[in-house]
Structure 1
Amino acid sequence: MPGQNYSTTSELILFGFSAFPQQLLPAFFLLYLLMYLFTLLGNLLITATVWTERRLHTPMYLFLCALSISEILFTVTVTPRMLADLLSTHHSITFVACANQMFFSFMFGFTHSFLLMVMGYDRYVAICHPLRYHVLMSPRGCARLVAWTWAGGSVMGMMVTSIVFHLTFCRSNVIHHFLCHVLSLLKLACGDRTSSVIMGVVLVCVTALIGCLLLILLSYVFIVAAILRIPSAEGRHKTFSTCVSHLTVVVVHYGFASIIYLKPKGPHSMYSDTLMATTYTVFTPFLSPIIFSLRNKELKNNAINESFRRKFCPLVSR
């Protein structure tokens, strides 16, 4: 990263799970490894199903496929580092590798939020403007929206990472985290500009993420108003059921993020900080395919089952 202004050390030490009792680490490793494999399998299954089933080539499933790809890339980037940390007492990382790690974490985090916002807009158009849905959500327009979410996530990730790594780090080189987490790294910064830079990073992140959340909530205000105008209870239930999986993932995504970034100030043990961090880095990608598979009947009962039978039981499906 350009403009780096480091102290005498050229490496950082990720303390991670070193404070935990050693006898617990194998259990944590097995748990997170199983969740990692399930996350990859679940999101790969959703992506493959949407890709192969032509009737799922609609905007809603296009965005779901993009979200699954984002979850896969985020998991592949973050989880192996955490698993490696569980196998060693501590390990070092260069500033360049730390910057790359932080960039990918921010990029996928912002991309995930942008995709959830676009999915909320898709549900808004489908329910509030059904006659114009195919015009407003054309295949080319949806592809552009997905491209803009990835571009926006990349720009935000690069901007925030560049701001952080223009600071001077002159304190301890030990990060009490299993990743180059921004809040843990900022504790090592010093200098006259530190407080203003930290405030800038917080404002950029909060503005982008809260802005996405507010737009999602605004979409659902119009969605709920449109649903309440439907005369039959069955129609209202059927219409709202198309939004449940997206709304649940939004709650999980922002709920776990607020556990980490909006926790009250005060003394926290290394145990609680590390475990709270795993809720966002491990549990959110783990829960997303479960939520979408269980709540989406078309994806669960029809597409996945038929795709599975065609791939593994071709004689039975004939």
Structure 2
Amino acid sequence: MSQRLFQAYVMVDWSAASKPTTGPDSIWVGVLKRNVRFQMAFESHNPATRLDAEKLLTNVLDDLKRKGERTLVGFDFPLGFPRGTAAALQLVGEPWRALIDFAAKEVKDKPDNTNNRFQVGAKMNRLMTGEAFPFWGAPARDEQTMLSAKRPREHGEGDLPELRLAEQAIKGPSSIWKLYYQGSVGGQALTGLPVIKRLAEKRAAKFWPFETGWKPLTPADLSEVECVFAEIYPSMLGAKPAAGEIKDQAQVRTACERFNALDDKGQLASMFGPAKDDPRREVVEREEGWILGAPA
């Protein structure tokens, strides 16, 4: 077998939109896979709802599974929460998995994209702190006692961290506690994690770095794996839209092409984590996760 880790790449630019939407600031799925001539070919999809996106991803991954093509699947939202979140919610088990299970249980997302992410954020605030913190951001109609429209205060001593270690490493991503407005990563995570959980349950998938370890990967590490789910941050890649392409579409294409090129040169493996021991390892592997390509 070649030293490539993957034979296909699926990159997802997610959206927490509350109604069906296409075009800029909606869901874009980029797929780079071998065509009938065994050449790598890119295609993009712009499903109007999260339900449509889940069906599309199911079909794409099922097709790649049938062909025996191991796939890297990147999502542009956190797969883990800042350290201490699971403990503050009094969840049991591995913190990363407990939070994905919590989101899958609490988030109600209808076929027309209406969803209860603001109610879930408010409930998590109540359970974690008993105040409208750390989650914030909502339209006026969704503001409530435990969720304010604007950021209520700075994170101080003794609070849950505003940013994860990975976000501190690249300076740029919004905090997961932001549920609304431009770059509302929290809304994307709450609506996206239940989808990823269902996709993973249907196949031999591993969540990086929680189930693979935060370390360089080898083909042997993935011998029984159909796909690896990872967090990406497309803004890091400096995508330049081609003629007729919109920004989000260019970002998923660029992410597919970049990871494929690195894999082709044998350079992707080292991006899955530091080669030597790292004092942050336990937090990254059990709770927070990491962003693929962020400097370790």
TM-score scaled by structure 1? Answer: 0.24
Please identify the structure whose Cα radius of gyration is greater.
1
Q: Which has the higher strand share?
A: 2
| Greater helix fraction, Structure 1 or Structure 2 | 1
